[in-house]
Structure 1
């Protein structure tokens, strides 16, 4: 069985993550590429597509092709819902890049469309497929940490503001580091805890360093006039069962404690963190212990072990879910909760008060 895939949005995330990963799979062919910039779509076809792949600048025209089985949505956040919903109703399975949508209302509409059409929908949280993430999730699922009542979601950059595309455009993206990289850390933390029932959220989004001119930055100084999103944001989430989650996200912050797409967990039987590799801690026979998990499988000169990168594993898992008619690893119901919490942090910051999510 060969699945025919259409790519909508041929920018950086498609070129660097989705298309290279799909290209490795023998079960798929990329037969259509759509981008508002026709040159980008054409370049994507030349690099990743079949010889007869089609080029589009209007995604609605692409969706008319009944031979296409799967759509990958790799556009700015404000069009995730519109394109995903249209694709689902066009009888296509959909992989949408993170976050699920700009707003929770849009995310809920995506979930409803998936239910109505019976097509599969997943969101691009590829960090679940890292070796440390998979190992830690298995530990949590087996109950080794006990009842996990504290989670910390880390997404801190000292000075790494993306200055290209629409990252600094609040209308297109819905926010800055919180919705961009905070979303990965929060997804990991909720997944490890197995808890998707938030009660209320308190949060603050800051514009403290965005006005800095000629700032030190990984991709060169940003333009303060174009920096319309927060430079950092922090949230405290109380779950219905009383568990707490702290979320920290920044593109620019005066801190040496950096790291993104990481989680720290505390449970009744033990704890874990990704701050320095993967560490597990606890108490045994009246003594405290910590253990460092060796994530590399090598140990031989000139050989580092075998293992695919997270993006490739994500793509393989997604395609297998379609072929075998199983649930994707990232369920849309879970991604919806991530979007609800992120939206609540922004709203709490705006209102200066807690935001309740309990129905």
Structure 2
């Protein structure tokens, strides 16, 4: 029986951008959150959010925030390159954690974070929002109950327009590990491995190219083939170099799962709901400083966090965030990715980049020091 004790949440959010804002607004509406503190290096963004959610505290210094005695849980929602320091401090303070993927963009730091989390015994989850969509939960249940027998082949394909890579890499010069797989392909890799739970990747062979996005310091596409410990084959392919006017706001995903007794074919490209209009549509992913070209055709529902109705976000990120608050408040089991999942996913995405660089298969799991020595 699950623990139904109500544990009032004192919440810190480090990073008040697009995702931090979404999770903060949901926190203000959740009855189990009794205190909210915010941090962002940009005062205008942070103070605007603090006012909107009536936060109890705001600072530009995450150390000042995480020292507050009211805090029991922390959300790390900074840019990808800046997760390490606030995460390690939150672990030291004993906070429960929600960390936007990845744990870190340095494999050695990711290993340090995981080791610290395990040593401290804190509950830490990673932001893989797609686990909370109805279609994938339905597929997971069918696989767990053996409806297609033993899975032996998985084919995954992800297509994205180039708004995300341009918006991501333009904010930093530290771009060596900001690749299609590490930043975005990790979502479809996590989903595929979650659906294949119990199978362990043994080797990977991958190839990449960079004809379009090389001027931005990243790659266009990475295609890889994993062999699992039981002989299962898993192909994981992504291109995030589609034109900025591509109708998909962010992600278009297809997964084919073949078992000994059946198959599950997932078409998640959002082409079933199309809008064409004379009015210009903005970017699905548009952080500060990024100006996207006008788009006049859109695959509706293709923005991964969800969709706006009446000024509020509805969809998987709402489900994911509220489920985490419920996890903390009542002890409820949830399908969140664990810190172990997050570290594994980072190593595997980097192993694909390493294989593409070497031109040969890479044994798994790779050594974090070896990854960083060769990839940076």
Same fold (TM over 0.5): yes
Seen in structure 2, the aligned counterparts of structure 1 residues 332 and 319 have a Cα distance that, compared at 3 Å, is same
Superposition deviation, residue 200 in structure 1: 1.0
Q: Quick check: 1:26 aligned with 2:31?
A: yes
| Higher alpha-carbon deviation: 163-172 or 196-205 | 163-172
Contact 1:149 1:243 in 2 (8 A): yes
**What residue number does 1:36 align with?**
41
Contact 2:253 2:268 in 1 (8 A): no
Seen in structure 2, the aligned counterparts of structure 1 residues 244 and 82 have a Cα distance that, compared at 3 Å, is farther
SS at match of 1:311: helix
**What residue number does 2:329 align with?**
323
SS at match of 2:75: strand
**What residue number does 1:61 align with?**
64
**What residue number does 1:272 align with?**
264
Superposition deviation, residue 18 in structure 1: 2.2
* Alpha-carbon separation, structure 2, partners of 1:335 and 1:345: 16
TM-score calculated relative to the size of structure 2: 0.76
Q: Quick check: 1:2 aligned with 2:5?
A: no
Q: Quick check: 1:351 aligned with 2:351?
A: no
| Higher alpha-carbon deviation: 316-325 or 144-153 | 316-325
Q: What RMSD in Å do the two structures reach over aligned CA positions?
A: 2.6
**What residue number does 2:19 align with?**
13
Seen in structure 2, the aligned counterparts of structure 1 residues 228 and 92 have a Cα distance that, compared at 3 Å, is same
Q: Quick check: 1:231 aligned with 2:237?
A: no
Superposition deviation, residue 21 in structure 1: 3.2
* Alpha-carbon separation, structure 2, partners of 1:69 and 1:128: 25
Which runs of no fewer than 5 residues in structure 2 stay unpaired? 1-6, 271-312, 367-376
**Matching residue within 186, 195, 199 for 2:198:** 195
1:248-267 equivalent positions in 2, closer than 5 A? 248-253=237-242, 260-267=252-259
> Size of the alignment, in residue pairs?
313
Superposition deviation, residue 277 in structure 1: 7.8
SS at match of 1:248: strand
Contact 1:210 1:230 in 2 (8 A): yes
Seen in structure 2, the aligned counterparts of structure 1 residues 270 and 2 have a Cα distance that, compared at 3 Å, is same
Q: Quick check: 1:182 aligned with 2:185?
A: yes
Which runs of no fewer than 5 residues in structure 1 stay unpaired? 212-223, 279-306
* Alpha-carbon separation, structure 2, partners of 1:205 and 1:240: 24
Seen in structure 2, the aligned counterparts of structure 1 residues 56 and 262 have a Cα distance that, compared at 3 Å, is farther
SS at match of 2:146: coil
* Alpha-carbon separation, structure 2, partners of 1:257 and 1:250: 15
**What residue number does 1:301 align with?**
none
* Alpha-carbon separation, structure 1, partners of 2:236 and 2:61: 37
Contact 2:175 2:218 in 1 (8 A): no
Superposition deviation, residue 6 in structure 1: 0.9
TM-score calculated relative to the size of structure 1: 0.79
SS at match of 1:200: strand
Seen in structure 2, the aligned counterparts of structure 1 residues 207 and 123 have a Cα distance that, compared at 3 Å, is same
Superposition deviation, residue 104 in structure 1: 3.3
Contact 2:206 2:361 in 1 (8 A): yes
Deviations for 1:117-148, whole angstroms, at most 9, x for unmatched residues? 12110000010000101101101111112111
Contact 1:21 1:311 in 2 (8 A): no
* Alpha-carbon separation, structure 2, partners of 1:355 and 1:257: 35
1:73-222 equivalent positions in 2, closer than 5 A? 73-164=76-167, 166=169, 169=172, 171=174, 174-210=177-213
Q: Quick check: 1:336 aligned with 2:336?
A: no
* Alpha-carbon separation, structure 1, partners of 2:224 and 2:170: 21
Seen in structure 2, the aligned counterparts of structure 1 residues 165 and 325 have a Cα distance that, compared at 3 Å, is same
